[in-house]
Chain A
Amino acid sequence: MTSESPPNTEQGAASKWREPPSDLPFFAGLGILAAFYVLLITAMLAADVSFAAAEWRKALASLLTEEIKYAIWLSLISCSITTVLSLWVATPVGYLMSRTNFPGKTLVDAILDIPIFLPPLVIGLSLLILFRQTPLRYLDDRFPIALHIPAVIIAQFSVASAFAVRTLRTTFDEISPRREQVALTLGCSRSQAFWLVVLPESWRGLLTAATLAWARSLGEFGPILVFAGSTRTKTEVLPVSVHLELSIGNIEGAVGISLLMVVVALIVLVVVRLLAGSERVARS
């Protein structure tokens, strides 16, 4: 009998019921790759901490200067304003893209992704050129925007809202339209169905979008550098501070400010995870 037709032999039966290969190599491979990336992240943070710990007096002194205090406040305020603006725009855009079909939707979808793919410096340069052209030039001449604080917020908003739109579109995609339809039969208009049914259900997506927008804004550097400039105690946000400290050779100061940003980002991340997690636990 050939090896291709073994069904009645004992050997054939044994090969038919052979145990599948072990899963160990698969999970070991996954584990090694995951561990490599997690270690890279933690090692970077640990290096910052150990560097700042060795030079903690200088790092701390940098954080206590008037310029950095200003940068901290400007960062916190501008990021918060940007987050509100981003959600305000991203919620309707995300809903529209999720629930409606219209001619040119694919093109609009691609345009909405441009800020994610465009190099940050190019976004800053594009904003600068845009605000030097009519009609925005007239606005800029009367109410200074470019190279002033509004430019910081516009630069942050241009990038952050693209991430918020993407997040909220996915959120709305995942919410079944069936509940909205039921709300319509119960007497709601489309607007009422959105406010009373869709929006409360999408709170976790809104929270994620807000966190992402806030974190992106906090770390935004390229567009701000070009469009808002890097003038101390004027358009200086924390990433600009890191750049300025590095440019004058104060590495300890730059690391101190970086660690401050890491701590703030971690606090936001943990608070959001706790909020989202507590609801998930309650549901399960």
Chain B
Amino acid sequence: MIETRNLVVRNGEFTVQDANLRIAGGKYGVLMGKTGSGKTTLLEAICGLKRVVSGSIIVGEREVATLKPGARGIGLVPQDGALFPMLTVKEHLEFALRVRGWSSADQHRRVDELSTLLQIESLLKRKPHQLSGGERQRVALGRALSFRPATLCLDEPLSALDDDTRHEMVELLKRVQRETGVTALHVTHNRSEAETLADIKLHIVAGEVMQVEKFPAPHIPLAP
């Protein structure tokens, strides 16, 4: 579950005011809004990358507003992937596991699982500059899911992709979310992406979360 209660976040002159949203466990929430509406600020606050002025953030059953980003149990997929240029794909999938002290056998097993889930088995030895846009986002998704977070935040992850790759990635995101049961908060300004992916659709306008629409879950047809 992801929930914010009366959340106030400041980003320079801009303020996200009293943001209230709730995405039930295992659901796919899509937060829509125009450029500059505060959607990325809100996402960063949930991930712990932006300091909260007031209000609370609940992830799972925990209040996390004062926790460090790494203690919140949230995987982040940024807009451009933000892959580490010096690491191979395999090292990306192992990164969080190594930092969190997993044994090498467990790391190995997890890399196998993730590479199969995301169909990137053949890319494991490559570095980011040897990947296409879609492949990069798959790796970013794998890295974010690697330490088995219950929650996933995606910041316009498909905005830089061509139509075909975007369609593939939308299907992949939906499948991965169903298979892992992760609760997702996906920020986008793309309407068709939202229609296809969302169990719960939220709008943010000028820093205020305006509207919450609930879609009939869980069977949402994928875009043709």
* Interchain CA distance A200-B80 in the complex, whole Å: 20
Minimum C-beta distance from A279 to chain B (A): 10
* Interchain CA distance A160-B147 in the complex, whole Å: 44
Q: Which chain B residues lie closer than 8 Å to A259 at the CB level?
A: none
Does A187 interact with chain B (Cβ within 8 Å)? yes
Q: Which chain A residues lie closer than 8 Å to B80 at the CB level?
A: 178
Q: Which of B3-11, B82-90, B113-121, B165-173 contacts A (4 or more CB under 8 A)?
A: B82-90
- Residue in B closest to A188 when the chains form the complex, CB atoms: B99
A185 lies within 8 A of B95 (CB): no
Contact partner, A188, options B47, B49, B70, B85, Cβ 8 Å? B70
- Residue in B closest to A178 when the chains form the complex, CB atoms: B82
Does B100 interact with chain A (Cβ within 8 Å)? yes
- Residue in A closest to B68 when the chains form the complex, CB atoms: A184
Q: Which chain B residues lie closer than 8 Å to A183 at the CB level?
A: 84, 95
Q: Which of B71-79, B174-182, B190-198 contacts A (4 or more CB under 8 A)?
A: B71-79
With contact pairs A186-B95, A187-B100 given, residues A176 and B70 touching in the complex (Cβ less than 8 Å)? no
Does A192 interact with chain B (Cβ within 8 Å)? yes
Does B129 interact with chain A (Cβ within 8 Å)? yes
The CB with the most chain B CB atoms within 10 A, among A183, A185, A200, is that of: A185
Minimum C-beta distance from B146 to chain A (A): 8
Q: Which chain A residues lie closer than 8 Å to B68 at the CB level?
A: 184, 189
B82 lies within 8 A of A184 (CB): no
Does A133 interact with chain B (Cβ within 8 Å)? no
B147 lies within 8 A of A187 (CB): yes
A184 lies within 8 A of B86 (CB): no
| SS class, residues of chain A in contact with chain B | helix
The CB with the most chain B CB atoms within 10 A, among A181, A183, A186, A196, is that of: A186
- What is the interface size of chain B, counting residues whose CB is below 8 A from a CB of the partner? 27
A179 lies within 8 A of B99 (CB): no
A201 lies within 8 A of B85 (CB): yes
Does B27 interact with chain A (Cβ within 8 Å)? no
Contact partner, B99, options A186, A200, A203, A283, Cβ 8 Å? A186
10 tightest A-B CB contacts, nearest first: A186-B96, A187-B70, A184-B69, A200-B86, A185-B76, A178-B82, A187-B99, A185-B69, A283-B129, A179-B82
Given contacts A185-B76, A186-B144, list 10 more A-B pairs with CB under 8 A: A181-B69, A181-B78, A182-B82, A185-B69, A186-B96, A188-B70, A196-B99, A197-B84, A201-B84, A201-B86
| 26 A-B residue pairings within 8 Å (CB atoms) | A176-B82, A178-B80, A179-B83, A181-B47, A181-B69, A181-B82, A182-B76, A182-B82, A183-B95, A184-B49, A185-B48, A185-B69, A185-B75, A185-B144, A186-B70, A186-B144, A186-B146, A186-B147, A187-B147, A188-B70, A188-B99, A189-B68, A200-B84, A200-B86, A201-B85, A283-B129
Residues of A within 8 A of B (CB): 176, 178-179, 181-189, 192, 196-197, 200-201, 203, 283-284
Residues of B within 8 A of A (CB): 44, 47-49, 68-70, 72, 74-76, 78, 80, 82-86, 95-96, 99-100, 129, 143-144, 146-147
